[in-house]
Amino acid sequence: MYYHATSIGQGGPGEPEEDARYRSLLLMRGGTLPPFPTLAVVREQIPILKQLFDEYQAKQHMPGPDGLPQPFVMLTKLQSLFLFSMVAVTNDIPKDVLDAVMAALKITVLLTEYDDLKPLLKMSGFCGALMDDVAIQRLGTIAKSRKVAIYLRDDASFTAEALHVLLQMIEQHKKDMISRRSPFVNAPWRDDVSLYAQLADVQVFDNKLNEDTQFLLEQLLAWAQNRNALDFERTKELRKDVVLSARIHLSLVCSQLEGPENAAKAKQHTKWVVDQFRPRRFMRDSLAGYVLRGDLPEHPVAVALGPEWFANAPSWRPPVHTAMPSGAGACEHCGKTTQKGESKLLKCARCQGVVYCSKDCQKAAWKQHKPTCKAA
């Protein structure tokens, strides 16, 4: 996860890019989404959203002009803004658009959580993406995760708000693990690494540089470095990201803890991160989002690299998935999509509505999919 606002996010010229991974996730149940909207189109819809949102907050139980709930009215009238909020690269979203995007994400979460709104979402879909119970749950999870990512941007840093959202997600995740009898109830980070990696980011950015944060980071690092895991190849990119963020954070956290062992760990993690980044000054912006946050103690990595390393480096942005992978849908369990030349995804033989990249993924996902699986 990258938290440094790009030049576009800071108000510079240019158009935000689309992260097509989110488009793929939204279309896992089928349907068609419109093209990624331009900033001009999004900005045209912001005053309408503000008016409708203010009315909704003032009278939350009042229906819209057509007798429909106001959140649903907002979605149907402002689909470009809602789609933008779900698929735009979060670091690219200009500051003058952030409030509207956060409002759209909040409404999206409401649509996925209120029982009287879910049937409308199933009937109409989300901006053209088909919705069932599983897709609605996924939509809500994506919206919450994107709220957290925006809260943690280095030009925002609303860590308390991010933590509030994450704790709700973690509570729901624990209930889900119990209901499907996950073997990782006592080690929940192994069941949803992305969720707990975001929690680690929040704890560090909120200055919780304590042993609890150290424990979580070390558990995430151990998971990411386990080359014997059955899903190692499939999760290789995620593991690389987790190793990088965990070691950046551990450099700082261990430096703030007492004892020679922690001092040695801090030195080890700092050296590893510095060795990764020193020859890659073009990556300064992605690292700055972690180590140049003014409300934290001076970061050992920033000290080791020095201020000149961060100054006047070539501009660069993290790689973005700007095109939809070929093939329809994505694996129901791991989210993998097929690339050109690869074998097609396997459909569920019973309902024909979900696909899997392998028999192992199909078997792993069966308990969660079974309640909604109906013969086609």
pLDDT per residue over 251-276, tens digit each?
Answer: 999 999 999 999 999 999 999 999 99
**Tokens standing for residue 111:** 């649509």
Residue 314, pLDDT score: 58
pLDDT exceeds 90 at position 230: no
pLDDT tens per residue across span 116-157: 889 999 999 999 999 999 999 999 999 999 999 999 999 888
199: alpha, beta or left, given left = phi > 0 and alpha = psi -120 to 50? alpha
pLDDT tens per residue across span 97-108: 999 999 999 999
Helices (H), 292-374: 300-305, 307-310, 359-369
Q: Contact at 8 Å (CB) between 280 and 244? A: no
Helix (H, G, I), strand (E, B) or coil at 126: strand
Q: What's the pTM value of the predicted model, to 2 decimals?
A: 0.79
What's the rounded Cα separation, in Å, for the pair 309 and 285?
Answer: 11
φ/ψ of residue 126, rounded to 5: -115, 105
> Which neighbouring-strand residues pair with 126?
129
Band (335; pLDDT cuts 50, 70, 90): low
Q: Contact at 8 Å (CB) between 70 and 56? A: yes
Band (353; pLDDT cuts 50, 70, 90): low
Q: Contact at 8 Å (CB) between 88 and 9? A: no
Residue 285, pLDDT score: 85
Band (341; pLDDT cuts 50, 70, 90): very low
Instruction: Pick the more confident residue, 90 or 63.
Output: 90
Q: Largest alpha-carbon pair distance within the chain?
A: 67
pLDDT exceeds 90 at position 214: yes
Helix (H, G, I), strand (E, B) or coil at 53: helix
Residue 332 sits at the vertex; the CA angle it makes with 327 and 336, to the nearest 5 degrees, is: 50
pLDDT exceeds 50 at position 94: yes
What's the rounded Cα separation, in Å, for the pair 265 and 267?
Answer: 5
Chain position carrying tokens 């803004």: 81
What's the rounded Cα separation, in Å, for the pair 287 and 275?
Answer: 13
- In this prediction, residues 33-45 reach a mean pLDDT of 96
Residue 185, pLDDT score: 92
What's the rounded Cα separation, in Å, for the pair 77 and 49?
Answer: 9
What's the rounded Cα separation, in Å, for the pair 97 and 113?
Answer: 25
